[in-house]
Chains A and B, each alone.
Chain A
Amino acid sequence: MGIFSIRLPDVGEGVAEAELVEWNVKVGDTVLEDDMVGAVMTDKAAVEIPTSVTGKVIWLGGEVGDVIAVGAELLRVEVEGEGNADASAVPEAKPEPVSSVSKESQIVESSDTTAPEATPESAPISVKDPTTDLPPGNTTKSVGGSKPLAAPSVRKAARDRGIDLRSVTGSGPAGRITHDDLQGHSQNSQNNSYGKQPNTSVEEVKMVGLRRLIANKMSQSKKHIPHITIVEEIDVTSLEQTREELNTSYEADRGKLTVLPFMMKAVVEAVRLQPVINALFDDEADMVRQYGGVHIGIATQTDNGLMVPVVRHCEVRNLWDSASEVGRLAAACRDGSASREELSGSTITITSLGPLGAIATTPIINHPEVAIVGINKMVIRPFWDGQQFVPRKMMNISCSFDHRVVDGWDAAVMVQKLKTLLEQPAMLLVEG
């Protein structure tokens, strides 16, 4: 019996590592030659990995989700006859150099554990190799042939400015391209650039941490939830008046009120009549959980990206209470001290870009919630009151709903309810 080691083959696309996305086997399973043992994910596609031998799986090189480097050991199979790996070597603990072992014998040992036959055995699944488009070997012999004639410094300047020398007419002897020709070229071909150089740089920024989390979360929402978005305009003239009066009277004692706590209050009131909107939809279990408490997520921009802290039990909070909790959570998010609990458990979300809020937005629902309320910019607009145009403070709201759970009618009713409450702010101040 021998041990045969299968390595992650070059899966093409020039990748050096790939994410393990599937195991079809587990330790102890018997595999047949050419069986697909698992799959790895590259940027573009999942690639299945075959075994080149028949035998019993005795070791797996990682768990699903692990990122494995090309050439790294993927699994070990116990085979009839001779394997390609040293049976005594346990993969996790490669033999540490022992001082009593001579240097020479170490070399021998390490070359034993990684027998060179391993490479051809792991079936190459090369898809695209950046070097194959080029003629093999050096390409330096093509001088004076098809290559444009230009001194090295001219070639570099052209590269830096994104100019293809083949498209430049050289004014020098034998059509040699000069620095002046490059200057003329960029002026001719980009008339509107007035000598400005096009920026051809590309910076690669790896998606890590919060950014990756946001990306995953967003695609999950957008992929799974059929969104319906309703945009409505709201006359907030009296809301603003009320707010101003409250701030004049109470700001010193209770803190300043923005529009947000009024919106939170309006949401609490609106979902009281439509509990289906204050819910989480577990689509795998086909279960909608309607919550009694209203836990409002507040989309918050931080230096690292979007975070959504949660104001719990808004149904028992008054305006100032909500406002101070929002302030506390936003600060915690920005300084990075927000706890996991403070960042999870919302049942509905409000998103506001403040003065940047535009006319309308298409908010993406915070999965697995079923609704999100987006606040747009407040502006003074002329409003026809039946006899004349009067200046009114107007603000749009853009609300998205999970159309699997919320019908268009219910969504419209919810939005109208918000509109009514915000246009008649006295309703919001009635406790109970």
Chain B
Amino acid sequence: MHGIISNIVIVKADGAVGQNEICYVYTGDTRMMAEVIKVIGDDAYVQVFDSTRGLKIGDRVEFEGHMLEATLAPGLLSRNYDGLQNDLEKMDGLFIARGSITDPIDYDAEWEFAPLAKAGDKVTAAGWLGEVKEQWVMHKIMVPFTMTDTYTVKSVAKAGKYKVTDTVAVLTDAEGRDHDVTMVQKWPVKQAVRCYAEKPRPSRIMETGVRPIDTFNPMAEGGTGFIPGPFGAGKTVLQHAISKQADADIIIMVACGERANEVVEIFKEFPELVDARTGHKLMERTIIICNTSNMPVAAREASVYTGMTIGEYYRSMGLKVLVMADSTSRWAQALREMSNRLEELPGQDAFPMDLSAIISNFYSRAGLVKLDNGATGSVTFLGTVSPAGGNLKEPVTESTKKAARCFYALSQGRADSKRYPAIDPLDSYSKYLEYPEIRAYLDEHIEKDWVDLVYAGKTIVQRGKEANDQINILGDDGVPVEYHERFWKSELIDFVILQQDAFDAIDANCPMERQRMMYKMVLEICRRDFGFPDFEACSQFFKGLINLFRQMNYSEWKSEKFESYRKQIEQYVSEKSK
């Protein structure tokens, strides 16, 4: 080692050095992981995933000969990792000591293995050889992703208990060489796993229980979306709500450069909360990758890749995976700090020039895939973006907008007036509504021409906003009463459909069936013509109506109370309508 600048160390290497190769830096008794990020002549620039305090010229560095890898095996679910897949739970002491390295899985645990393949079968990478039960998920044991040929199965272990490092299958390649396969494999996190037959367009919806998403701008299974918003607009609350309620088999939460207390909330709540769909604890389907803002910056960059790689691993088992990253802006900032230390010429706002390419490359790893055996699996990716100054024209937001298909813009104005979730109904969009596949899916699963109803609702909101602008310019009396009616109809949609109380046990999670009913009820009222005598009567009527609807939202689905509010609303409306 002959140079140190912040967390970058310059090393004179004895042999060949690979870009992105992993190495270990030794100082005293401490061993810290680092990654090669630039090589110039004999000099390897490595970024240390830890504090470089006290490092000295001449300290030893050992190269590992491989890139940063994720360990993939049964036993990942319910764990809490740092960005480099160290198990945080296994670490001793209150503080994370420098160079703390813990195993990502339990190598001593035994798993009940059941074979799926038999001798003589032809298999390729990600082919299913057997399965073990991990929590309540059938975890497939696959041909390692790194084995790129076609193999013949020579033998598969009999059903029984095995450790992850035990050989459970022997595969023979075209040249007749045998390969032992265990239940654990490794994959370099920065490379996409491409072991599938095809990657079709998304054709199903992923329910989230959040009305402004499911009803107005649905997320597709295998789709991508992002949530930009200034601080305080409720990005994290929204992400947590989605992670609790989303209709997915596996949830991977990447807390990337965000607040530690928010992660603690997940640590404390998820083991208690029950997933309504399966009756299992939420934690059983969740993996948390946590690299909070005060943890080393370099590992922050790695954390999103680690999360995505684990997602792709479970996708290969034919599962529905939802990967969420909060926040991808922090990841981009980590890239910026690195680029800055390497003295690269900066792009806009000092971000690296290839930021846009890196982001779109990452988003492209999500998707619905058809596996070689005909099963489908998916990785749905939802990232948050924290735009500097709430300005959506900054580089991270713009780059992400090009890459993601759903855009959930959180607006400061809505947040200020406590209209949560603050998803702006007019700026936000879901490109999936335009997909014929998705349209057909909604026709079948919700009702015929559902997408037209969605657009009708959006038009009402749009017209309401225009009417309100007129009212604000010309005054309450300066416009026809009809303008007020238009405005209040949009308020009705806003208060009943677009706003949702994430902290109310009942309102927080709204199943699709309930959303459909409420939405149709609201739309039906919006289609009526009331002909109020004056604007005061109009606003009074709608305020009363909104109040009734809100009580309905707070009542249990189809309970006596719920039905009684429904009747009250019907009566209330029929009395007033012409």
* Chain A complexes with chain B: no
Residues of B within 8 A of A (CB): none
Residues of A within 8 A of B (CB): none
